[in-house]
Amino acid sequence: MTETRQNNKHLHPVMLVGTGSDVGKSVICTALCRILWQDGYQPAPFKAQNMALNSYVTPEGLEIGRAQAVQAEAACIPCHTDMNPILLKPNSEHTTQVVVNGKPIGNRSAYEYFRKKGHEELSNIAHEAYDRLSRRYNPIVMEGAGSISEINLRDTDIVNMFMARYADANVILVADIDRGGVFASTYGSIMLQTPEDRKRIRGIIVNKFQGDIRLFEKGRSMMEDLCGVPVLGVVPMFHDIYIDEEDSVELTQKHHIMTEGKVQIAVVLMRHISNFTDFDTLERDARVNLFYTNNTRDIEKADIIILPGTKATLDDLLEIRRNGIAQAILHAHHSGKTIVGICGGYQMLGQTVSDPEGIEGSIHSLPGLGLLPIDTIMTTEKTTTRVEFEFEGGKCFGYEIHQGRSTTEKLILQEENCIGTYLHGFLDNEPVINFLLKDKELKTPTMSLEEFKNQQYDMLADHVRKYVNIDKLYEIMGL
């Protein structure tokens, strides 16, 4: 971990917004949190409203988006709901669970949520959280959501330029050059703003560049002339720095070629998969070849099959019955393969899953895979808590985020070659991993998860420092 020096100079808040979704705002925010911490400041992340199925539990036992938890970790501070006061967790294409200040307040349809009614109440929640955070930390690194050029949603916006105006934040626009059309998306994003908001955009970061960066020198000056805004940096795509992902967009690409001599681990790729970062530590283990799949032939080749967490257990359970994955898992279990279920995946491994009140949707009950002696009933109450537990004689940590109650109080349930647990982070623990891979000796020592994460945050900070004009960024922030 990099040494800090105390820096009491006040900096103006900065907000990173995007030309679209998945342009890299979260990762750049994470880098800035680390850089500011390295430079002696006490930064904190903030995103008024986040839409994600990958969430985390604060020390107080409340729920926030994973991205803000990661950014807080990079800033070396505990995560808090004030960093993400409103979290939307989609249940289906049309409905979403709304989490406010870490607690669910119910499900809403997309139309019901995004219409103007209720805008004032939600914006007040975001403003109050920001105010509390800004009194404790300096500076605040703010993150927008999706594209800032969705002008049809401007009246209901509480996360992008609306929030920047409230915080009086200077704005940096992040553009993804890898997807193409970077000039049009950058220029259009700026020109579609109101004159007042346009003035707030003080810099551009071109992200995910591939190839010889010198080839974009002319493009950089052309972009500055076109947009009238300085380009603070052109950041190359990286493949050797590991930061927890917020979205499951890239999971389908994690289908590795079978490698002889390694333990083949298949994570079932479900439509409503959540907290897929549960498998990052396993994926990095030298003994393992981990891949995501919804193909029965891949399941047959795996040594270990994992059913992950899901935001819609019954809907995904019905789907794996339809597509043959459930039958493939049962056949694999009968053949002696190891089956692991996490959270919603754990519920699926039981005898029945019931939702008599329709909390998840229209499916009221389904038989599970019958591999574990539990029955689950969905409830309105949500469990969010951090947990310390012992496994194979070792001290371990995890956290629960789930709705539903199962007919056992055991944190971990084992039956023959099947393991189920509600604990996210279960597979981050060395005793658990070594138990699963007991026939494979790890020849090289591994660093702890905390050491690894800090190494990655420092590498990310170095990468961004190299390609972004940090002095100019400090100038924009009022230094």
How would DSSP label each residue in 21-81?
TTSSHHHHHHHHHHHHHHTT-B-EEE-SEEE-S-EEE-TTS-EEEHHHHHHHHHTTS---G
Out of 80, 272, 333, 424, pick the active-site residue.
Answer: 424
- CB 141, CB 174: distance < 8 Å: no
Q: How far apart are the first and last CA of the chain?
A: 25
Annotation says 343 is catalytic: yes
Which residues have CB under 8 Å from 448's CB, separation 6+? none
Q: Are 43 and 37 in contact (CB under 8 A)?
A: yes
- Dig out the tokens for 35 from the structure: 């850089």
Quick check: is 424 catalytic?
Answer: yes
The one catalytic residue among 343, 396, 402, 418: 343
Residues composing the chain: 479
* Amino acid letter for position 168: D
CA-CA-CA-CA dihedral for 114, 119, 124, 127, to nearest 10? 50
Cα–Cα distance measured from residue 460 to residue 454, given in angstroms and rounded to the nearest whole number: 10
The DSSP 8-state label assigned to residue 138 in this structure reads B
Nearest C-alpha neighbor of 113 from the set 129, 92, 98, 93: 98
| Residue numbers annotated as active site | 343, 424
